[in-house]
Structure 1
Amino acid sequence: MSRPRKRGATARDDERPPERTLAASGFRARLEESRQNQGSWTLMVDGTPQSNVEVNDPGVLNFEYVRRIGHAIDLVAPDGEAVTAVHLGAGALTLPRYIAAKRPGSRQQVVELESDLVEFVRDHLPLPRGAQIRVRHGDAREVLGTLPPGLHGAVDVLVVDIFSGARTPAHVTSQEFYRLALPLLSPRGILAVNVADGAGLAFARGQAATLRSVFPHVAIATDTQMLKARRFGNVVMFAGIGELPFERLPRLLAADPAQAKLVNGRELDNFVAGARIVTDATAVPSPPPARSVFLAKPGG
């Protein structure tokens, strides 16, 4: 492994980007620094961009779908108030860094199967000092069912952003999986799920139907081209026990550099119409994207 760089350091032209082969999956993890924006790093796993981190300002979120989750996190509690968060899937720890920067004192737990991925990221992109972020290693579904009783009914933000390479494993897409998440949420808590899908949006519609079978309040956020099922991309889904605190979210999504809309109520009924609830018996991984999807640099 190459030596860790100082925070915000720039890769020289003659240096190879840091890489590591992950033991559990065999995938290759690679950190690439933007040549235009010093300190902006993208984590690639199996050729798929999975996370982006601005090490000098973790309050900046460059991936579109991550900003949509960030907007929701901004609304879950008054500005600056500490929250309790659980993240299923570590990536480059982008959202844990964001919460630590925006809401100092927040308690956070991250669950990641690829232990050496977390080590690799932290070696090269250290976490901010003072951040209360605990990492638990293991399969997200298995760990979710064994989290401490003190977290039950106490989690304000629960993020599900789980990928093996470019696909979400089947066992974390089912009704049974989401039922494990339900008791963790606080009355004001939100579940945020990153769903990747392509033309037709059959997988995304199934996920929305499944969430609605478990949670009383569900909404989704994406751009209009995705809603027209014309391309591969991300649909962010939100769920909660109580009413989602999203009165201002439509304006935040509309003002974002990558405009999006919030879909709920009757429009969500139409989106879900005809979709079947996903169970352990019927679950399948998310569809694979074409490699051409990632030829251009990700961002926003």
Structure 2
Amino acid sequence: MEHHRERKPRTPKKRIEGSYPISTGTATIVADPERDGAYILEVNRVPSSYVVPGAPEVLEYDYMRWIAEYIAASRLPEPFTAVHLGAAGCALPSYVQHRWRSRNIAVELDRGLARLVRDAFDPPVEIAVAEARAFTHALDSGSVDVIVRDVFAGPDTPRPLTTVEFFRAARRALSPRGLFVANVGDREGLPQTRAELAGLSQVFAHTAVTYVGRGYGNVVIAASDRPLAAGRQLPIDGASPLHDSPRPTS
């Protein structure tokens, strides 16, 4: 006699699309019409995260994949601890936690946005509501292995998160094998990137950059006291290779 196992009814999807008030304005969650179960989180009308709840292995944005490649190339002992300054939808922290079974702390200034992301996406990471610079300065020496900075006010990173003083606080918080990596919004000629690399080179022994050189866009910079993947071509179409720049010795 053939037995048929009863199928459990699927849990109805929670409808999360819509606009929501947050502490700094308005967040909007838009369903991706081309991918079932995927959403774009916009913060004050700026696309901020692409999230597929329950599928943390998905990274839609190129710059996030570049950051993940830097982390992979660092070959940190697992499990490691990563701090993500600028949480938004927690797409990258969720990916890092999934891929490396690491501890990830997402730091978000906007309390309302943090609450919305917890309720709508239920990310598998810790979310701390705090100002990024203050959080970094408060970290214990050598207590984390990766610091990712992805904080924006409009198209630019807030000035206090681009100073040599901030970079020194980040280096102090990192373990000896640690990695600092940041997303920079820059324009032709990369003036902001060049300024930040100059500051980082005063603090870290090695710096690197990955970018697509077409007008305004995302640039990813990295710094560490260990050599970075010099001259290694990332497997991303159109991206420049990593250029490892050792700190000059006096």
Aligned to 1:140: 132
Give the TM-score of the pair, scaled to structure 2: 0.86
CA contact (8 A) 1:68 1:221 kept: yes
Aligned to 1:294: none
Gaps of 5+ in 1: 1-5, 270-300
Question: By how many angstroms is 1:92 displaced?
Answer: 0.6
Describe the superposition over 1:144-179 as per-residue Cα deviations: whole angstroms up to 9, x where unpaired. 1112x3xx2142211000112433211111111111
| 2:90 counterpart (81, 93, 97) | 93
Q: Give me the whole-angstrom Cα distance separating, in 1, the residues matched to 2:12 and 2:56.
A: 11
Structure of higher CA gyration radius: 2
Gaps of 5+ in 2: 1-9
Amino acid at match of 1:100: Q
Amino acid at match of 2:216: F
Asked which structure has the greater RCO (Cα within 8 Å, sep 6+), the reply is 1
Amino acid at match of 1:162: V
| 1:250 counterpart (214, 232, 239) | 232
Aligned to 1:28: 26
Instruction: Give the 4+ runs in structure 1 shifted more than 6 A.
Output: none
SS at match of 2:41: strand
Moved more, 50-59 or 201-210: 50-59
Indicate yes or no: 2:22 matched with 1:63: no
Indicate yes or no: 2:218 matched with 1:241: no
Q: Give me the whole-angstrom Cα distance separating, in 2, the residues matched to 1:259 and 1:199.
A: 15
Aligned to 2:50: 52
Fraction of identical pairs, as percent: 33
Indicate yes or no: 2:97 matched with 1:113: no
Instruction: Determine which structure has the larger strand proportion and give its number.
Output: 2
CA contact (8 A) 2:136 2:173 kept: no
Aligned to 1:43: 41
CA contact (8 A) 2:206 2:244 kept: no
Question: How do residues 71-220 of structure 1 correspond to structure 2 at under 5 angstroms?
Answer: 71-77=69-75, 81-104=78-101, 106-128=102-124, 133-147=125-139, 149=140, 152-220=141-209
Amino acid at match of 1:170: R
Q: Give me the whole-angstrom Cα distance separating, in 2, the residues matched to 1:191 and 1:20.
A: 32
Question: By how many angstroms is 1:9 displaced?
Answer: 4.1
Describe the superposition over 1:207-250 as per-residue Cα deviations: whole angstroms up to 9, x where unpaired. 11111111111001112xx2xxx400011000012223x26x82
Q: State how many pairs are aligned.
A: 239
